[in-house]
């Protein structure tokens, strides 16, 4: 299991093993840590999860089972998640035929009931927290420690809390390209042309572009600018720089644009991954991928949609970047022309890192 | 930490977007902080820098040098791969080696 690296979860093995009869609050705390790990990883072996948060595996399974059953009733009809257990033969069915297998189910999986890409902790642990609030909490914890009013056992707890909060403060909060997107939105609203340096995100080609901006929008995992073209040219905002407004406002009429989904050609790609792997989660949650075939207990095929035309080399390079990020265990099943998609950008990266 | 004083409250909430995008995952604690040095062409700095918001930038000829610390090496490697060759890792050697290993393994799988 890849170790969890979450701001509020202690590193694997750091928490002492919790006794089975520990107070409910302490057990709930470990369960919440486990849910954070599950939310980041999607699925993992119960034994690994238990070791990560300092619980006996049997107790971990009991707590997860209780939470799974309590879910919707305990948290209301909007409880946005589900937990399920599986064996090496796959997920257990919900009828009685798999009751015997449930005792040996060694993998637990967390899934969202709100569709791909909507994780449990969108609603709980990942809710944005104001930096000033965290700073206040750190200060309060430090002042409490200085006040000498705490009992010895409380001091340790407060020290741990202060350390976690201080660590969280070090994670910088930043929205890539947000200021560029804001500037472009101003240009769209003012109907004023823009000029920018554009590095094609996948081919690496760089150029100065002058464009007539029509719309700023989110396209899957990116922010894009739709500008005048045939019928619309889309630019990845994340690779723009030196953006400036040029000419006068009200310089053009904004035409009626196609629906956002119709502005960019999409290429369907099928990738083969291991079930319950980080790669499956990355594709299904991050890319809105859909499992189209369970090939065997060790392999399944996931279909995603890539921006661009299959015949466009830039589309292959975009897939190549994704494959390089995912690692060598993922294979391209279709289109066949994309099977070597990682080669060009991979060689470019290795050339840049020659020792 | 010594508290010298507190400034005025922020006048507006901090602008936040999709938490998956705004959290700099290279800052998550996989291990103790390490210093990184990346380099890119200065003409591409604007696009590169938005992905490394904590970097201090220096100039060296036609190149920009980005220095910052990170705690999550796999996130750093993934981010550099995501920039598709616009930026390269100079240091530390471990991150450089991790990128070479990951990219090399994918290329080997493609060719086999």
Identify any residues that bridge with A206 across adjacent strands, giving them in sequence order: A199
* Touching A: B residues 50-89, CB under 8 Å: 50-51, 53-54, 71-72, 78, 80-82, 84-86, 88-89
Q: What is the pLDDT of residues A192-209, one digit of tens each?
A: 999 999 988 888 788 899
Give pLDDT, residue A132. 62
Give the DSSP per-residue string, B23-80: B-GGGS-SSS-EEEEEEEEGGGHHHHHTT-TT-EEEEETTEEEEEEEES-HHHHHHHH
Sorted by sequence, the CB contacts under 8 Å of residue A338 that are 6+ apart come out as: A269, A310, A316, A319, A332
Q: Per the CB < 8 Å rule, is A7 touching B53?
A: no
Q: How many CB pairs under 8 A join A and B?
A: 147
Give pLDDT, residue A196. 94
Give pLDDT, residue A123. 44
What percentage of chain A carries pLDDT values higher than 70?
A: 77
Residue B1 binned pLDDT confidence (cut-offs 50, 70, 90):
very low
Q: What is the pLDDT of residues A258-306, one digit of tens each?
A: 888 788 888 999 999 998 888 888 888 778 889 999 898 889 999 998 8
> Cβ(A226)–Cβ(A257) under 8 Å?
yes
Instruction: Tell whether A328 lies on the interface with B, counting CB pairs under 8 A.
Output: yes
Of B6, B16, B45, the CB nearest to A173: B16
Tokens describing residue A221: 């995992």
> Cβ(A194)–Cβ(A245) under 8 Å?
yes
> A173: which DSSP letter?
B
Identify any residues that bridge with A81 across adjacent strands, giving them in sequence order: A112
Does pLDDT of B16 surpass 50? no
Does pLDDT of A4 surpass 50? no
Q: How far apart are CA A333 and CA A316, in angstroms?
A: 14
Q: How far apart are CA A176 and CA A226, in angstroms?
A: 18
The Cα of B104 is separated from the nearest Cα of chain A by a number of Å equal to 8
Of B29, B46, B102, the CB nearest to A327: B102
Nearest CA in chain B to A206: B44
Give pLDDT, residue A128. 46
Give pLDDT, residue A303. 95
Q: Which residue has the higher pLDDT, B27 or A35?
A: A35
> Cβ(A209)–Cβ(A196) under 8 Å?
yes
Tokens describing residue B19: 């938490």
Q: How far apart are CA A272 and CA A43, in angstroms?
A: 18
Q: Per the CB < 8 Å rule, is A340 touching B110?
A: yes
Does pLDDT of B17 surpass 60? no
Instruction: Tell whether B46 lies on the interface with A, counting CB pairs under 8 A.
Output: yes
Q: How far apart are CA B54 and CA B36, in angstroms?
A: 11
Tokens describing residue A301: 């095929």
What's the mean pLDDT in A204-220?
87
Sorted by sequence, the CB contacts under 8 Å of residue A147 that are 6+ apart come out as: none
> Tell me, what's the ipTM?
0.81
Residue A26 binned pLDDT confidence (cut-offs 50, 70, 90):
confident
Specify the DSSP element, H or E, that contains A34: helix A24-41
Q: In terms of Cα–Cα distance, which of B38, B21, B24 is closest to B71?
A: B24
Task: Please list, residue by residue across A87-120, b when 16 or more beta carbons sit within 10 angstroms of its beta carbon and e when fewer do.
Answer: beeebbeeeeebeeeeeebebbbbbbeeebbebb
Give pLDDT, residue B22. 44
The Cα of A6 is separated from the nearest Cα of chain B by a number of Å equal to 6
> Cβ(A309)–Cβ(A267) under 8 Å?
yes
Does pLDDT of A22 surpass 80? yes
Residues in B touching A325 (Cβ below 8 Å): 78, 81-82
Does pLDDT of A97 surpass 80? no
Q: In terms of Cα–Cα distance, which of A290, A198, A213 is closest to A247?
A: A213
Q: In terms of Cα–Cα distance, which of A288, A298, A317, A272 is closest to A221?
A: A288
Q: How far apart are CA A154 and CA A160, in angstroms?
A: 10
What's the mean pLDDT in A96-106?
69
Interface test with A, best of B24, B72, B85, B100 (most A CBs within 10 A): B85
Highest mean pLDDT among A119-123, A275-279, B2-6, B64-68: B64-68
> Cβ(B30)–Cβ(B74) under 8 Å?
yes
Backbone φ, ψ for residue A137 (5° rounding):
-65, -40
Give pLDDT, residue A178. 63
Identify any residues that bridge with A20 across adjacent strands, giving them in sequence order: none
Does pLDDT of B92 surpass 90? yes
Residue A12 binned pLDDT confidence (cut-offs 50, 70, 90):
low
Give the DSSP per-residue string, A244-287: EEES-SS-SPPPPPPPHHHHS-EEEEEEEE-TTSHHHHIIIIIS
Of A122, A178, A350, the CB nearest to B103: A350
Does pLDDT of B27 surpass 80? no
Give pLDDT, residue A102. 66
Q: Per the CB < 8 Å rule, is A352 touching B88?
A: yes
Highest mean pLDDT among A109-118, A221-230, A323-332, B50-59: A323-332
Q: How far apart are CA A204 and CA A236, in angstroms?
A: 12
Does pLDDT of A182 surpass 90? no
What's the burial of A327, exposed, middle or buried (CB within 10 Å: 0-12/13-18/19+)?
Answer: middle
Give pLDDT, residue A161. 82
Give pLDDT, residue A229. 84
Does pLDDT of B91 surpass 90? yes
The distance of Cα A144 from the centroid of its chain, to the nearest Å, equals: 36
Q: How far apart are CA A239 and CA B46, in angstroms?
A: 8
Mean pLDDT is lowest, of A180-184, B5-9, B43-47, B57-61, for B5-9
Give pLDDT, residue B100. 96
Residue A3 binned pLDDT confidence (cut-offs 50, 70, 90):
very low
Q: What is the pLDDT of residues A109-160, one digit of tens each?
A: 777 665 555 455 544 444 445 556 677 777 788 888 888 788 887 888 888 8
């Amino acid at each position: 299991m890849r170790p969890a690296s979450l701001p509020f979860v202690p590193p694997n093995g750091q928490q002492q093993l919790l006794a089975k009869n520990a107070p409910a609050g302490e057990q709930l705390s470990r369960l919440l840590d486990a849910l954070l790990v599950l939310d980041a990883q999607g699925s993992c072996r119960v034994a690994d999860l238990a070791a990560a948060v300092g619980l006996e595996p049997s107790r971990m399974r009991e707590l997860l089972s209780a939470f799974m059953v309590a879910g919707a009733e305990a948290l209301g009809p909007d409880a946005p998640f589900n937990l399920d257990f599986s064996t090496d033969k796959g997920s257990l069915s919900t009828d009685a035929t798999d009751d015997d297998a449930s005792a040996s189910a060694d993998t637990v999986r967390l899934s969202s009931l709100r569709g791909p890409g909507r994780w449990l902790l969108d609603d709980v642990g990942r809710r944005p927290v104001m930096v000033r609030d965290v700073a206040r909490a750190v200060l309060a914890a430090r002042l409490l420690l200085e006040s000498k009013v705490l009992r010895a056992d409380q001091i340790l707890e407060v020290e741990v809390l202060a350390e976690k909060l201080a660590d969280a403060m070090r994670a910088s909060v930043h929205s890539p390209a947000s200021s560029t997107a804001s500037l472009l939105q101003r240009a769209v609203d003012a109907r004023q042309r823009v000029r920018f340096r554009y590095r094609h995100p996948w081919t690496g080609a760089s150029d100065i572009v002058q464009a007539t901006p029509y719309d700023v929008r989110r396209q899957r995992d990116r922010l894009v600018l739709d500008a005048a073209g045939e019928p619309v040219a889309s630019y990845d905002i994340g690779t723009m720089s030196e953006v400036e407004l040029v000419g006068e406002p009200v310089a053009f009429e904004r035409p009626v644009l196609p629906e956002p989904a119709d502005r960019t050609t999409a290429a369907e790609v099928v990738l083969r991954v291991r079930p319950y792997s980080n790669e499956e989660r990355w594709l299904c949650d991050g890319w809105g991928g859909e499992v189209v075939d369970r090939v065997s207990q060790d392999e399944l095929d996931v279909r995603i949609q890539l921006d661009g035309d299959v015949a466009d080399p830039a589309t292959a390079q975009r897939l190549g970047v994704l494959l390089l990020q995912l690692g060598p265990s993922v294979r391209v099943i279709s289109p066949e022309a994309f099977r070597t998609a990682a080669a060009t950008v991979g060689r470019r990266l290795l050339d840049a890192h020659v020792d | 930490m010594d508290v010298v004083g507190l400034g005025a409250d922020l006048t507006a909430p901090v602008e936040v977007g999709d938490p998956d995008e705004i959290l700099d995952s290279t800052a998550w604690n996989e291990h103790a902080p390490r210093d990184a040095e990346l380099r890119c062409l200065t003409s591409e700095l604007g696009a590169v820098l938005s992905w490394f918001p904590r970097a201090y930038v220096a100039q060296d000829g036609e190149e920009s040098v980005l220095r910052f610390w990170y705690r999550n090496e796999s996130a750093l490697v993934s981010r550099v791969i995501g920039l598709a060759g616009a930026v390269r890792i100079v240091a530390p050697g471990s991150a450089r080696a991790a990128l070479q290993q990951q990219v090399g393994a994918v290329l080997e799988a493609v060719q086999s």
